[in-house]
Amino acid sequence: MPAAKQPAAPAKKVAAAPAAKAEPAGPAEGATAPAFSMPASGGRTASSAALKGRPYLLYFYPKADTPGCTKQACGVQEALPQLGKLGLEVIGVSPDPMKPIEKFAEKYKLSFPLASDEDHKVAEAYGVWVEKSMYGKTYMGMERSSFLVGADGKVKKVWRKVKPEAHAAEVMEAAKAL
C-alpha cells in the first residue's frame, strides 16, 4: 500500500529585517567642516578660510523670501547681537542666484552674509542637497539644516530639518557652550 501523503508544513513567515536607517550625508559632530567659498550679499565672499580660528554657524535654507526662510533669517538677525558677543559669525546659504539673495537681504535688513550656492557644491559637501517630494513629485532641493563649527574647524552641533521659529534660540544655547 502506498504511504499516505503527509500534509505540507505551513511555510514559516520570515520577518523582514527593518530597513537600515541611512546616516545623513555630510559631516557629523566632531568631524572637520568641509571648506567653502561662495559669493555673498553686500558684495562679500563667505569662505571657511576667512573664518579660520573663529566659530561660525553655516545655515542652509531652501529659498530666499519665502515664509519659513524669512522667519528663520529674521530670527537669526534678531539674535545677532547676542551671537556676536559669543564671537559667532553667521552665514546663510541658499541655492538662489545673487540677485534674489541681495533683494531678500535688503528687504529684511539682514546684516549677516547670505551666500549663493547655485551649483550646490557646498550643500552636497554638507549633505543637505537632498531628494524632496511635494504633491507626489520628487525633486532635488536644499534641506533646512545648520552646522555650528568651532574655532578649531570641527563641527560642534548639527541641526537637520530645522524649525524656522525656534532655530535662533537653539543656536544661542549651543553657542554658549563653545
Does pLDDT of 59 surpass 90?
A: yes
**Total domains, the chain:** 1
Average pLDDT of 56-68?
Answer: 95
Per-residue pLDDT band for 167 (boundaries 50, 70, 90) equals confident
Is residue 2 in a domain? no
d(CA 76, CA 70): 10
Question: Average pLDDT for residues 100-110, to the nearest whole number?
Answer: 97
What number is the average pLDDT over the span 160-175? Answer: 90
Beta strand pairing call for 56-60 and 145-149: antiparallel
Q: Is 23 inside any structural domain?
A: no
Whole-number average pLDDT of the chain? 89
pLDDT at 92 over 90: yes
Q: Which residues contact 6 (CB under 8 A, 6 or more apart)?
A: none
Tens of pLDDT, residues 10-48: 554 444 444 444 556 889 999 999 999 999 999 999 999
Q: Is residue 74 annotated as a catalytic residue, yes or no? A: no
Residue tagged active-site, from 69, 115, 155, 171 = 69
- Any idea which of 19-23, 26-30, 50-54, 66-70 has the lowest mean pLDDT? 19-23
| 96 domain residue, yes or no | yes
Task: Please give the pLDDT value at position 178.
Answer: 84
Give the residue carrying C-alpha cell 546663510.
92
In a domain, 28, yes or no: no
pLDDT of 133 reads: 87
Q: Is the pLDDT at 170 greater than 80, yes or no? A: yes
Does 59 fall in a domain? yes
Instruction: Give a yes or no: residue 169 inside a domain.
Output: yes
Q: In terms of residue numbers, what domain contains 74?
A: 37-176
CATH code: domain of residue 143: 3.40.30.10
Does residue 45 belong to any structural domain of this protein? yes
Q: Is 78 a member of any domain?
A: yes
**Mean pLDDT of all residues in 139-165:** 94
